Amino acid sequence: MYKMLKSRALFRFAKNEPLLTVTSIVFGAFCLLFYLLPTYAEFMYQKGIYALLRFLYDNSLGFLPIPSIYFFVVAIFYFMVRWFTHLKSRKWQESVFKFFKALLLVLMSFYLLWGFNYWCPGMRARLSLEKERISIEELQGELMLCAASLKKDYSVDFNLPNNLEDIVRQEQKEFLKSNGFETPGKPRIRKLLPKGILLRISTAGVYFPFVIEGHIDKGLHPIQWPATMSHEMGHAYGITDEGECNFLAYQSCIRSAHPEIRYSANIMYLRYLLSALRKETAIDYKDLLSSIDDAVLQDIRNIEQNNNQYPDILPKYRDIIYDGYLKTQGVKSGIKSYATLIQLNVDFKRSKQSKGN
């Protein structure tokens, strides 16, 4: 009896929603194909469908002077109000059906517009980076080199170029192309208002697939802008892993001709290095801090003070939700993947040294 009712429900769905039914079948076929053959995901989706979407965006939404996400939020609010307004006049079964139909459309749109990139080979695989253990001495060496670069690039007058987005994009394109990656389109990274809208959920930036744009919080400290922009730009080019986007941002920005951009990348790296070394009991952390220029440490304190102006909203639940999301997409380390920047940087350096570069 249950199977009969179930089959009749599916038949009615197919009869009343022929376009959605066909779309769902095609979507399921793509999911199965990309899951079984990731190289097809790279060839068919990342280099084909996604590249086409980037081209279409460049010649439409990319010209807008304000973030497209504002229009998306207004549209969602409109449809939610409309749904609730008509909820009483409908049968509850119909309302529930429409709700789940909307969820299905959102899910399919997410994967079509960006999500299938999760099933493509990542930067570590594409760069053939072998993962090897990092010693405490190597960590300290990385910190010393980073601290020296920061001291060299430090300036009391931290003035970012007016065309920062264009510069960050071009520098990332150059790094990606030099390492064999495709760089389709001209992705935009927008500054979101009101200030703190992302910082209050422990996020400096976000790539939003439904509008094919990246965003950073307008309340972010200016020192963090270049590295954060570059991180979100990495997502726009189809890099899904958070640590790999941090790696891409760092490697792109430290090659910049602009000291402010290099400084931003190294500040990001230094904070990850300090976090990793703070856990090591075999070293004196205070001595380690004394080796870093006071002006640089003050900039880190200024960044933290700025971010503290926007206290987190339910940070524990945010971490649980995002950690779960990343793991369901195949990122095994979940939210901890951000910190793999150090491992990737060291592995990349070792790879270059072994090749004599």
Sequential pLDDT tens for the chain (357 residues) = 344 334 454 455 555 566 666 777 777 777 777 777 777 788 888 999 999 999 999 889 999 999 999 999 999 898 888 777 766 666 666 667 777 778 888 888 898 899 989 888 889 999 999 988 888 899 999 999 999 999 999 998 899 999 999 999 999 999 999 998 989 899 999 999 999 999 998 899 999 999 999 999 999 999 999 999 999 999 999 999 999 999 999 999 999 999 999 999 999 999 999 988 888 767 888 888 888 999 999 999 999 999 999 988 766 666 566 556 556 655 565 555 456 899 999 999 999 888 766
Angle between helices 259-278 and 294-307 (to 10 degrees): 80
Question: Could you identify the residue written with the tokens 């090897």?
Answer: 132
- Domain annotation covers residue 160: yes
Domain range for residue 40? Answer: 2-119
Which of 89, 119, 149 marks a domain boundary? 119
Residues 226 and 187 in one domain: yes
Residues 198 and 334 in one domain: yes
Number of domains present in the structure of the chain: 2
- Domain annotation covers residue 125: no
Q: Please, are residues 267 and 150 in contact by the beta-carbon 8 Å criterion? A: yes
**What is the pTM assigned to this prediction?**
0.88
Rg, C-alpha atoms of the chain? 23
| Phi and psi torsions of 208, nearest 5° | -110, 105
Cα gap 71→74, rounded to integer Å:
5
Q: What is the largest CA-CA distance in the chain?
A: 76
Q: Is the dihedral of CA 241, 247, 251, 253 positive or negative?
A: positive
- Residue 199's pLDDT is 92
Residues 139 and 276 in one domain: yes
- Domain annotation covers residue 128: no
Which of 68, 94, 119 marks a domain boundary? 119
- Residue 27's pLDDT is 76
Indicate the SS3 state at residue 191.
Answer: strand
Cα gap 186→159, rounded to integer Å:
24
Residues 114 and 165 in one domain: no
Residue type at 177? K
